[in-house]
Amino acid sequence: MGYLLTTSCYIISFAPAFALFHRFIVHDPVRIILFVLGAFFWLVALLLSSLIWLGLGTLFDGYVVSIVIGIFLQELARVSYFLLLKEAQSGLNKITRPGEVSVAPGVTDLHNARHMLALVCGLGMGVMSGLFLTMNVFAAFSGPGTIGLPQAIEKSTTDVNRAGKYLPFFYALSALLLTLFHITWTIMVWDFCHKFGRTMSVYIPAVIAVVTHLAVSIVSSISASGLHFYVLVVQFLVFLGCAAYCHVIMGGTLVSLLNRGKSSAVDLVTLRFLRNTSQRYEAQQGEPLQVRNVET
């Protein structure tokens, strides 16, 4: 236990989020703002949930109910964020659309970018929720002690599930998954918001988002009884499902996903990205909306 461990935990938890942030957000001021706004919306949802929990707590032990309400509030926050963005869009267009006089350097056009924005905002929410999930625990890991003594003294017995040496690892992985989950849920919910009123089938992504969110949360509550590993496996599988579904929402198919996965694996094994960086650079040049040149 110590600072090394805490550092490792944070690296594991937030490395994917950082990679995404670095790739898609950091170069665009508008996206940075939207990212932070996403985090803010999640915090507001949490604040409201806590108030409701406080209110319910005086009536009965509304643990599960509070979780359910908390999840609904989070989804509601996503919807309200979408509505807010829609309201703000005309203004945003003025600073993002190529050719406008007031276009800011570094920004990318919002046209056709709703999934990208979902990624940005979802990442903001995910990072914040991941941080809240783990920061207390990670802070505790930084000290010499590990979790479990007060409970052990109270119960006069050791609860091995709360004191194993892999506990920090499990925590870090669940934070990692939570961050990524928020991206997929945001893509799903916003797709629903975007297509709202067209057909009945537009409800499907929203329902899937809420159900998986509930499922993941409820499954995680049993991990404290020693099932960390299994819970993580289940959550990971659910995440793969969600990711695949998002791929489908974004116009792909399962086959195309598998193909991309296959080619990635081949490239990884053959170290293509090291072998031929110039090709990768060209691929970037070929992107339709690449605006790097504007910066320079």
Considering only residues 149-178, where is the footprint of other proteins by CB under 8 A?
Answer: 149-153, 156-158, 162-166, 168-169, 172, 176
CB of 251 or CB of 296, closer to other proteins:
251
Binds other proteins (CB under 8 A): choice among 115, 182, 213, 228: 115
- In the structure encoding, which two tokens stand for residue 106, read together? 């570094």
Given the rule CB under 8 A, which of 30-38, 128-136, 201-209, 232-240 is the region that contacts other proteins?
128-136
Angle at 66 between CA 63 and CA 67, to 5 degrees: 90
List binders of other proteins among 74-103 (CB under 8 A). 85-87, 89-90, 93
Is residue 129 within 8 Å of 182, Cβ to Cβ? yes
CB of 209 to other proteins, least distance (A): 17
Given the rule CB under 8 A, which of 29-37, 129-137, 202-210, 227-235 is the region that contacts other proteins?
129-137
List binders of other proteins among 183-222 (CB under 8 A). 194, 220-221
List binders of other proteins among 267-286 (CB under 8 A). 267-268, 273, 280, 283-284
**Which stretch of DSSP H or E encloses residue 175?**
helix 167-195
- Concatenate the DSSP letters of all residues of 203-228 into one string: HHHHHHHHHHHHHHHHHHTTGGGTTH
Residue with tokens 């116009």, as numbered in its chain: 251
CB of 36 to other proteins, least distance (A): 19
Given the rule CB under 8 A, which of 6-14, 30-38, 203-211, 232-240 is the region that contacts other proteins?
6-14
Distance CA 141, CA 151 (A): 17
Measuring CA to CA, which residue among 213, 191, 215, 186 is closest to residue 203? 191
Measuring CA to CA, which residue among 166, 239, 220, 240 is closest to residue 8? 166
- In the structure encoding, which two tokens stand for residue 154, read together? 């109270």
CB of 84 to other proteins, least distance (A): 12
Binds other proteins (CB under 8 A): choice among 102, 264, 270, 279: 264
List binders of other proteins among 14-73 (CB under 8 A). 15-16, 18-20, 22-24, 46-47, 49-51, 53-54, 63, 66-67, 70
Is residue 181 within 8 Å of 239, Cβ to Cβ? yes
Distance CA 289, CA 284 (A): 10
- Please compute, for residue 85, the number of CA atoms within 13 A of its CA located in the half-sphere on the CB side: 24
Given the rule CB under 8 A, which of 4-12, 29-37, 98-106, 233-241 is the region that contacts other proteins?
4-12
Is 227 an interacting residue with respect to other proteins (CB under 8 A)? no
